[in-house]
Amino acid sequence: MNELTGTEHQNPQSIGLDEWSSFEIVQFMNKEDEAVAGAVRGALTHISKAVEAIAARWQLGGRCFVIGAGTSGRLAVVDAVELVPTFSIAQNRWVPLLAGGYEAMWNSLEETEDDDSWIITALKSHSLTQADVVIGVTASGSTPFVLAAAEYAADIGALTVGISNNESTALTAICDIGIEAPTGPEVIRGSTRLKAGTAQKMILNMLSTATMTKLGKTYQNEMIDMKLINKKLVNRAVQMLVNMTAATEEEAQSALEVTNHDLKSAAFILLTGSTLKEAKTFLEGSAGHLKKAIQQYFHDVKELKP
C-alpha cells in the first residue's frame, strides 16, 4: 500500500466533526483556511520564478496549457476563461485542459484522473512546441493525468510548472519549476476541494495576473486591455480614463469613440496629447505595452526638439 501524503491524512482536530454544531463546523473551517495563505506564502519565490519564465515564453509566441483533474482542472478553467475579456488575449493562448473534458466541468468523473493517454492526445492535437508552457495542478502531486502531461511536455522541451499541495512530489521532480504549497489534512479527510483547492486558486490567480501585468496588460493597477463588450465595462473604461489621465468624462468618451473603443489607444491619446495614428504606431512598437509606448513617445518628442 502506498504511503499516505499530507493531504490524505486524517485531521486529528476534526475527528468529532459529525457531532459539532453548524457554527463550530464553519468556525473550524475558517480557522483551517487561515493557514492556506501561509502555505502559499512559502511558495512565492517559485511562483514569481514561474511568472518570469511564462512571460518570456509568451513573448516568443508561446501558449500556456493548464492541466488538472477534478477540482484542480475546474479551477484551471475558472481562471483561464476570465483572461480573455480581462486582458484581451486570444482564447488559444491560455488553455485549460480538464480530465474528462467539458462534461467533467459539470459532473464528477473521478476515473478520468487516471487517463494518461487522453491528455497526451489532447496536447498533440494542440501541436505543443518548445515555446509553450504546461502547468500541471494536482493536490497530491501524483495524479497520473497531470504527470503524463508534464512528462510529455518535458520531452517536447516545453516549460513545465507543477502546482501541488504536498512536499517533494512526483510532479515537482518532473517539472522545471515546482510550486509546493503544503496545506495538510483537510477538515474532511481527503476532500482536497477545500484547503488545497483554495491554495490552488490563489496560485493560479497569481500566475495569470502577474504574467499579464509583466506583459503590459495593465497600466498602474487598471485593466487597460479589457474588452469593452457591455455598457458596464464601457462606463468603467470612462471612469478609468478619468482617473488615469485627469480628463473629463466627455473627453474620455470622445477618446473612446475616436479609437473605436480601443481603451489602450484612448489612454495613450489622452496621456500624450497625440493622434490615433501615433497611438497605434507607438503601441505596436512596444508590443502593446502602454507605459513603454508612452515613455518611447516622450523620448522621441524630446529627441526631435531643437
Domains of the chain: 6-215 (3.40.50.10490), 231-304 (1.10.8.1080)
SS3 at position 119: helix
Lowest mean pLDDT among 5-19, 63-77, 100-114, 279-293: 100-114
pLDDT value, residue 87: 95
pLDDT value, residue 300: 85
Is the pLDDT at 1 greater than 80? The verdict is no
pLDDT category of residue 302 using cuts at 50, 70 and 90: low
Burial of residue 30, with CB atoms counted within 10 A of its CB: 0-12 exposed, 13-18 middle, 19 or more buried: exposed
pLDDT category of residue 108 using cuts at 50, 70 and 90: confident
Quick one: average pLDDT of 276-298?
95
Residues marked active site are found at 82, 113
Residues 97, 73: contact at Cβ < 8 Å?
A: yes
pLDDT value, residue 114: 83
Beta carbons within 10 angstroms of residue 39's beta carbon = 20
43-88 pLDDT, tens digit per residue, is: 999 999 999 999 999 999 999 999 999 999 999 999 999 999 999 9
173-222 pLDDT, tens digit per residue, is: 999 999 999 999 999 999 999 999 999 999 999 999 999 999 999 999 99
Per DSSP, helices labelled H in the chain are 22-41, 44-59, 71-87, 116-125, 144-156, 170-174, 195-214, 231-245, 249-258, 263-272, 276-285, 290-304
Residues 204, 197: contact at Cβ < 8 Å?
A: no
118-127 pLDDT, tens digit per residue, is: 999 999 999 9
Over its C-alpha atoms, the chain yields an Rg (Å, rounded) of: 23
Lowest mean pLDDT among 60-74, 98-112, 142-156, 212-226: 98-112
Percent with pLDDT over 90 in the chain: 88
State the Cα–Cα distance between residues 17 and 24, nearest whole angstrom. 9
Residue 247 bridge partners (DSSP): none
Any idea which residue has 498533440 for its cell?
Answer: 124
Residue type, 296: Q
pLDDT value, residue 104: 86
pLDDT category of residue 107 using cuts at 50, 70 and 90: confident
